[in-house]
């Protein structure tokens, strides 16, 4: 697929303010061979590092830097470049390009579809559905993991909320719903993205929250000592072992 690149990109104030890594990553996302007509594609973090040369924390910084125009779902390993469809369609046969975008969009989970539809309502009118199981890459290796239509619909029920143009992932929304201290949501999402939890991690995180809710520390003074969610994630507190059970102060036995 050929791409149209506007030379005026270099004069765009947003692009001009990006770091060299931010510029490179953004240009990579709009020119790499995976990008579909809808502007979304599957890619592993390892592939990003290998093909751009941006390593480790520097990649996380670049992803955060361009997040106002690019959504990255680490748990799905999917990228959505928001303005890609608009700019490419303007220089193509509009009807054919729309059909191509609709066809490519059918391969993605409903969480991704909802985000694209939010940006381009015209694509919602097409018949995009998951009648067959779809596959998405595991965030930890190259094996495929099957996701059924029911599982995808469940993710879609947590339609991504928006913050500064960034879509909250379905996994993060489950964490946020379960976590009892609702402060610093954007900071918590940043920590979530840095953590990059896998599908197998989420049940363990939710289990840890349920257990720690019962502890004296979290129950004392109306939850005053519950850590901020971002701090809890960065410290890996969901891996804590031997969380003490609450004690009945009057009987001196576990409640």
Tokens 């991704």 label which residue?
112
Q: Are 38 and 105 in contact (CB under 8 A)?
A: yes
**CA–CA separation, 178 and 175 (whole Å):** 5
**CA–CA separation, 22 and 62 (whole Å):** 5
Rg value, the chain, Cα: 21
User: Kind and range of the H or E element at 44?
Assistant: none
**CA–CA separation, 48 and 59 (whole Å):** 8
What pLDDT sits at residue 104?
A: 81
What pLDDT sits at residue 4?
A: 73
Angle at which helix 45-52 crosses helix 56-65, to 10 degrees, equals: 100
Of residues 160, 18, 143, the one with CA closest to residue 77: 143
How many CB atoms sit inside 10 A of residue 193's CB?
21
Residues 6+ apart with CB under 8 A from 105: 36, 38, 40, 112, 113, 116, 123, 126, 128
Per DSSP, the three-state class of 133 is coil
**CA–CA separation, 164 and 151 (whole Å):** 28
Q: In degrees, to the nearest 5, what angle opens at C-alpha 80 toward C-alphas 74 and 81?
A: 135
**CA–CA separation, 71 and 63 (whole Å):** 9
Please state the pTM of the whole predicted model: 0.48
Domain extent listing, the chain: 1-167, 168-255
Residue ranges of the alpha helices (H) in 165-214?
Answer: 170-178, 185-195, 201-212
Residues 6+ apart with CB under 8 A from 88: 3, 4, 37, 39, 97
pLDDT of the chain along its 255 residues, tens only?
Answer: 666 777 778 888 989 999 999 999 999 998 888 888 888 889 999 999 999 999 888 999 999 999 988 999 988 889 999 888 877 776 666 778 888 888 888 778 888 888 888 888 878 765 443 333 333 344 433 443 333 333 333 333 334 444 444 567 778 888 999 999 988 888 888 888 888 777 678 889 999 999 999 998 898 888 888 999 999 999 989 888 765 544 444 445 554
Cα dihedral sign for 37, 84, 141, 192? Answer: negative
């Amino acid at each position: 697929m050929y791409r149209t690149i506007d030379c005026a990109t270099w004069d765009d104030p947003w692009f001009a303010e990006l770091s060299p890594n931010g510029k490179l990553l953004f240009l990579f996302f709009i020119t790499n061979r995976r990008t579909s007509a809808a502007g979304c594609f599957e890619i592993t973090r390892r592939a990003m590092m290998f093909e751009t040369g941006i390593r480790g924390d520097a990649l996380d910084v670049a992803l955060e830097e361009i997040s106002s125009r690019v959504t990255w779902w680490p748990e799905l390993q999917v990228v959505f470049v928001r303005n890609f469809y608009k700019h490419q369609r303007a220089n193509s046969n509009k009807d054919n390009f729309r059909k191509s975008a609709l066809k490519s969009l059918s391969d993605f989970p409903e969480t991704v579809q909802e985000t694209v539809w939010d940006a381009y309502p015209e694509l919602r009118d097409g018949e995009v559905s998951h009648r067959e199981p779809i596959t998405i890459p595991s965030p930890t290796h190259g094996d495929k993991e099957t996701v059924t239509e029911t599982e995808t619909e469940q993710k879609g029920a947590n339609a991504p909320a928006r913050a500064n143009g960034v879509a909250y992932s379905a996994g993060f929304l489950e964490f946020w719903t379960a976590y009892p201290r609702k402060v610093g949501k954007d900071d918590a999402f940043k920590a979530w993205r840095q953590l990059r939890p896998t599908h197998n991690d989420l049940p363990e995180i939710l289990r840890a929250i349920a257990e720690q809710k019962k502890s004296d520390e979290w129950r004392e003074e109306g939850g005053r000592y519950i850590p901020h969610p971002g701090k809890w994630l960065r410290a890996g507190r969901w891996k804590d072992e031997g969380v003490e059970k609450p004690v009945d102060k009057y009987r001196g036995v576990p409640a």
